Structure 1
Amino acid sequence: MRIAVLGAGAVGGTLAALLDRAGHEVAVTARGAHLAAIAERGLSLRGGWGEHVARIPAAERLDRSPELAIVATKAQDAGGAIAAGAELLAGVPLVIVQNGLSGIDSAAASAPSSPLIGGLALFAASHLEPGLVEVTAPGALLLAPGSRGAGAALALAARALAPLLPVQLGDDLRAAQWSKLLVNQVNALPAVTGLSVQATVAHTGLLRVLTRSMQEAARVAAASGARFAPLGVVDERAVAALRTLPTALAAALPRRMARSMGDVPNPGSTLQSVRRGVPTEIDHLNGAIVDAARSAGLQAPVNAAITAMVHEAAARGFLSPDEVVARIAAIDAPQTRLGALARRLGGARG
C-alpha cells in the first residue's frame, strides 16, 4: 500500500520504519538535519521492536498521492502539514496521531473531504538524533473513528498497521483523548528539569507536583463533563481516585505509569523537543487543561504554572527540582490558608 507519514519524528518515524519493513511503499515528510539524514542514510529504527533501516523517499512536503496518510506532527503543526499537501490528500483517509484534544478538528478544517481516524500512540519512542528513532517501551496504537463514515477508512488503517504492532480499536475518541491527556501529564516536568519520567517520579517533591497537576486535570475534566476510556493504567476508577484521594495516596497512579515504562529512561516527547531546540506542544498538553478549565469557568493554576515553566526552560534552560517544587508550593500556600480560614469559620458557626 502507498502510505505517507507526515512528520517522521519519534512516533511517525517508528510507524514509517515498521511499515517499510513490512513491505509498504512509504514516503515521509521531515525537516532540517533529520530530513538530510534520512535522505543520506535512511531512517533507522532500534529498540523494543528490533532494528531496521528504512530507505524511503523523504521531503519537506508530500509530493505524491498516497492511499493512506498518517499525520504524526506536533499538534500545532498538523493543520499546516495537511494544508501543504491538500491537493494530494483530497479524499485520502487520514490517521491523525496527535496529543491533545484539537487534532481532529484541525484536520477536518484542512482536509474536509477526507475520512478521519484518530490515533493515540501508547508506546514510548525517542527521537534525539537525526535519522534515528528508538522504541523505549513497546505498546499499542489506539485507533478510533474521527469523522462520520470513517468505518471503511478505520478498517483500512487497521489492516495496514495491526500486523506491525498491537492495534487497539476504540469507539469514543474524545474519551480516549482525555485519558491520553492525563497520561501526558508526565511529559511536562521532565521538560522543565531535564530529568527522565522515571527520575521525576522517583523525586518526592516532583512526584507531589505531578500528582497535583493530574488531580487538577481530573477535576477540570469532571467539571467539563469529560469521560475517560480505559488506556493503560488510566480508567474511570483511577481518575475518580485522583479526584477524591489525598495527594499522597493519589500518587500511586503516576508511580504505576512510570513502572509501566520499564527501565530505559524515558525523556518524554516534550523534553525531546526542548533538547532538539524545536517548539514543544505543551500548550496542547497541560495548556489544554488550562483552556478546558477556563471554558468551565474554573482555574487550573498548577497546570498553568507548569506550562509557563516549560516555556521558560525551553527559552532559558532547565530549572532545578527544588525551584519547581517551591513555585508550586507558592501556589498552594494561599489556597491552604483559605482552606484553614474556612474551617475555622465553620467551627465558629457551629
Structure 2
Amino acid sequence: MRVAVIGAGALGCTFAALLDRAGHDVTLVARGAQLEAVSASGIHLNGGFGDWQTTKLVAVPRLETPPTPGGDFDLVFLAVKAQDTATAIAEHGGAIDGTPVIVVQNGLDGVDTVSKSLVDSSCVGALSIVAASYLEPGSVRVTTPATTYIGRGTGDPDAEVRRIEAELGDALRLTAIGNFVGAQWTKLLVNQLNALPAITGLSVQEVVADRTLRLIMTRSMRETVRVGAATGIRFGSIQGLGNLRLRFFARLPVVLGQALPARFASRMGPVPNPGSTLQSIRRGQRTEIDFLNGAVVRQARLVGRRAPVNETLTALVHEVEKTGVFFTPRQVADAVAGAEAGTSAGSSAGSLR
C-alpha cells in the first residue's frame, strides 16, 4: 500500500516506521532537523514495538499535487496536532483530497474539521493510546505500546473502517470500534494525563506519585466526565473504560477516584513518560492544550456550566508556554482551589477534598 504520513512527531514517526516494517511504501512529511535526519538515515524506532530502522521510507517537505485527485497514495495518515490542522490542509490538501484520510488526533473536532476541508476524501478517526517520545531527530522511543482505535460517528464500524482494520490492523494494532464520538470523549479523559506534566515539568509517573497533583488530576478527570454527561454523551469503550464505569467514577469521592490516574501511570511502566504536551513545551512548540482541557471548558459553557479545574490547567499550561517557568505542586493546588472558589487563579489556597 502507498501511504503518506503528514506529521513527523512522535506518533507520526511511530506509525511511519511500523508501516515501513510491514512492507508498505511510506512517504513521511517532515521539516527542519527532522526532515534532514530522516532523509539521511530514516527513522530509528525502539521501545515497546521492538527495534526497527526504516529501510524504504521517504521523507519530503511537502506533498506534490498529482495529475488526478488522490492519485499518488492509497491512504493518508494526518498526524499533526489539532492546532496545526488548518495549516496542514492548506499545504497538502490539493495532494490528498480524494484519498481516504485517517485523522490521528486528540480532541473532539478532528474528523469533522478535515471532512469539511477535504470534501472528496473519506475521513476516518483514530484514537491512539500509544505513548511515544521524540528523543531527537530521526529517533522515537515507544514507552507504552497500545491499541489505536479507529471509527467514525456514533454507530457501528462501517465497511471502510473494517477494511482498514483488516489491512493495517496487525502492523499498527488497529481496532475498529463503534460509537467513535463517545470514544473521543473517553480519550479526552485519558488526555488529562498531559496538562500537569506540562505545568510542573515532571513525568506522568512523577505527577501521579505526588498526592497533591494526583488529586488535582482526578478532579480534572471527574470534571471531564461530568461535562460529557451533561452534553448527553454516551462514553465509548476504550482501554477497559466505558460509559457505566466512567459515570460511576464521576460519582466517587475524589480520594477513591484517584485509583484511575494511578492505574494509567502503572501501565506506563518505569520509563519516565513526559506526555505529549510537555514534549511540545520542551521543543518550544505551541501545545494542543486548547483542544484537550480547553475542549472540556468550551463544552461546559455550551451547557451553561463551568469547568474550573480544566480552565485553570489550560491557563497554567499557557503560562508555561509563555514564560518557560514551571509551577510547584503547591502553586497548582492554590490556583485550582482559587478557581473552584470562583476567584482568580492562584488567589486562594484550599484543600483538595
TM score, norm. by length of structure 1:
0.91
Cross-structure match for 1:346: none
Report matched runs for 1:156-195 at 5 Å: 156-195=163-202
The answer to whether residue 330 in structure 2 is matched with residue 322 in structure 1 is yes
Cross-structure match for 1:292: 299
How far off is 1:297 after superposition?
0.9
- Matches of 1:184 and 1:151, distance apart in 2: 26
Quick check: 1:179–1:234 contact (8 Å CA) kept in 2? yes
How far off is 1:133 after superposition?
1.2
How far off is 1:32 after superposition?
1.7
Match of 1:120 among 112, 121, 127: 127
Quick check: 1:282–1:310 contact (8 Å CA) kept in 2? yes
Cross-structure match for 2:318: 311
Structure 1 stretches (4+) deviating beyond 4 angstroms? none
- Matches of 2:336 and 2:315, distance apart in 1: 12
The one-character-per-residue Cα deviations of 1:44-71 (angstroms, maximum 9, x if unpaired) are 1111111112242212222362110011
Match of 2:263 among 240, 246, 256: 256
The answer to whether residue 58 in structure 2 is matched with residue 57 in structure 1 is yes
- Matches of 1:47 and 1:7, distance apart in 2: 20
Amino acid at match of 2:198: A
Change (3 A) 1:147 1:218: closer
- Matches of 1:327 and 1:209, distance apart in 2: 11
Quick check: 2:152–2:181 contact (8 Å CA) kept in 1? no
Quick check: 1:122–1:140 contact (8 Å CA) kept in 2? yes
Amino acid at match of 2:177: G
- Matches of 2:109 and 2:136, distance apart in 1: 28
- Matches of 2:54 and 2:160, distance apart in 1: 25
How far off is 1:159 after superposition?
3.2
> SS at 2:53's partner residue?
strand
The answer to which structure has the higher helix fraction is 1
Report matched runs for 1:10-159 at 5 Å: 10-55=10-55, 56-63=57-64, 65-145=72-152, 151-159=158-166
Amino acid at match of 2:330: D
Quick check: 2:19–2:172 contact (8 Å CA) kept in 1? no
- Matches of 1:60 and 1:214, distance apart in 2: 38
RMSD: 1.9
Quick check: 1:143–1:170 contact (8 Å CA) kept in 2? yes
Cross-structure match for 2:230: 223
- Matches of 1:327 and 1:83, distance apart in 2: 39
Q: Which runs of 5+ in 1 are unaligned?
A: 336-350
The one-character-per-residue Cα deviations of 1:61-99 (angstroms, maximum 9, x if unpaired) are 223621100111001112321332222212111000110
Cross-structure match for 1:269: 276
How far off is 1:333 after superposition?
4.2
Quick check: 2:2–2:75 contact (8 Å CA) kept in 1? yes
Range that drifts further, 120-129 or 236-245: 236-245
Quick check: 1:117–1:145 contact (8 Å CA) kept in 2? yes
Q: Which runs of 5+ in 2 are unaligned?
A: 67-71, 344-353
Change (3 A) 1:165 1:108: closer
> SS at 1:280's partner residue?
coil
Range that drifts further, 213-222 or 52-61: 52-61
The one-character-per-residue Cα deviations of 1:175-195 (angstroms, maximum 9, x if unpaired) are 110000000001100000111
Amino acid at match of 1:69: V
How far off is 1:147 after superposition?
10
The answer to whether residue 340 in structure 2 is matched with residue 332 in structure 1 is yes
Amino acid at match of 1:36: E
Quick check: 2:15–2:172 contact (8 Å CA) kept in 1? no
Q: State the percentage of identical aligned residues.
A: 46
TM score, norm. by length of structure 2:
0.90
